[in-house]
Structure 1
């Protein structure tokens, strides 16, 4: 019980959660604005604008920086963690999404000729982020942390 109470009273965790939540809500709103459809799966899905991963980790680093100091070991660790997550989102995970798109097209082309070759579901293509999506998420996380802490 003390663990749950501690988490619920942890300001830094609250900042991170709110930052993630706002980013996910913005994905649903932006999908509605640009695609003219309500897609609630965007609330829990990865990829898209803004990066909730970036928002989450930059709000963590910013919150720690404000509370412990930007010269602290805790801030340095959070910053390194944030940079790794954002690099992964725009690099590795984005490449995975591009590969999934190509593989899905290849499977469609093969299935046009032979229906019995693949029974797998389509691979998820929206996995990573563009640099703009990562930067937008990072800015969102920094702003929310500065407002809340």
Structure 2
């Protein structure tokens, strides 16, 4: 147990943030398995899905910064601004990228069915569709991050 204490003493903010990321990724993998009925190890490091590991990471950072540095500190302010940007980006730009990828993949699939006979080198080229998050997934990640930040005591 002392090694756990040493990890969190080394860099509290980083350790709490990475712990929240790991918890979110494990939850994402489990939830994906329950919903899809198939274990996909890629979910452990992949983006998109429930809960948002990006949101969990930055929300844990905000809570840890507030607890260790105070809510009036520059570190807390930077963490809070970064959290807002990351979560907004996950729901906006990255989510829209995934929606566009779905449409492009469908268009490519239709086109490749026709062209596959003449250009076999194209094969199964597909864009990654799961890159962003719904507001619910971001909220789920934020909840994981806030809980992690509150539950891991300062050493």
Q: 1:117 to 1:140 in 2, by over 3 A?
A: same
* Structure 2 counterpart SS, 1:123: coil
Q: Map 1:1-149 onto structure 2 (within 5 A).
A: 9-115=10-116, 116=119, 119=122, 121-149=125-153
Instruction: For 2:35 and 2:112, locate their aligned partners in 1 and report how far apart those are by CA, in whole Å.
Output: 31
Shift of 1:118: 7.4
Structure 2 stretches of 5 or more lacking a match? Answer: 1-5
Moved more, 116-125 or 71-80: 116-125
Shift of 1:35: 0.9
Structure 1 stretches of 5 or more lacking a match? Answer: none
TM-score by length of 2: 0.88
Instruction: Give the conservation status (yes or no) of the 8 Å contact 1:23–1:50.
Output: yes
Instruction: Give the conservation status (yes or no) of the 8 Å contact 1:20–1:53.
Output: yes
Alignment RMSD: 1.9
Instruction: For 2:130 and 2:140, locate their aligned partners in 1 and report how far apart those are by CA, in whole Å.
Output: 17
Shift of 1:6: 9.1
Runs of 4+ with >6 A deviation = 5-8
Shift of 1:7: 8.9
Report how many residues are paired: 145
